[in-house]
Amino acid sequence: MFISNSVEQTIAAGRTYGEKARRGDVFALRGDLGAGKTQFVKGFVAGLGSNADVTSPTFVLLHEYGDGRLPVFHFDFYRVESREALSRIGFDDYIFGDGVSLIEWADRFSALIPSRAKWLSFELKDENTRVITEGVAR
């Protein structure tokens, strides 16, 4: 468990994960709106050596960042209506490919998340405090 008391600390936590990431890793992120998922991804992408301007892919479903040590596939399932929508974009090709996948709102379609995924839960405690827990069951 990690307690973040600022946006900067959440980004730093993501950076630490990104620095350790390996080809084929999948990170399933869950938590309420504003809990820090996208800030974590910003740090994660930076930890892989990318200078990309990371934003939430809420309305486009997927952002790809390819200028770091490994390509990053950043998904957001918040507005996804069906498994078919994920199939149409080739979801399996991404998560079983050569990059690293980070999936916000992964619990919306948890059956599609591979068993090797690392689950991270983001809990909003107050305006500044977030609790990030690894290994939370689906």
pTM beyond 0.85: yes
pLDDT tens per residue, range 41-79? 999 999 999 999 999 888 888 999 999 999 999 999 998
In the chain, the domains with their CATH numbers are 2-134 (3.40.50.300)
With 0-12 / 13-18 / 19 or more C-beta atoms within 10 angstroms meaning exposed / middle / buried, residue 126 is: exposed
Identify the segments of the chain with pLDDT beneath 70.
136-138
- With contact defined as beta carbons under 8 Å apart, do 47 and 16 qualify? yes
pLDDT at res. 137? 53
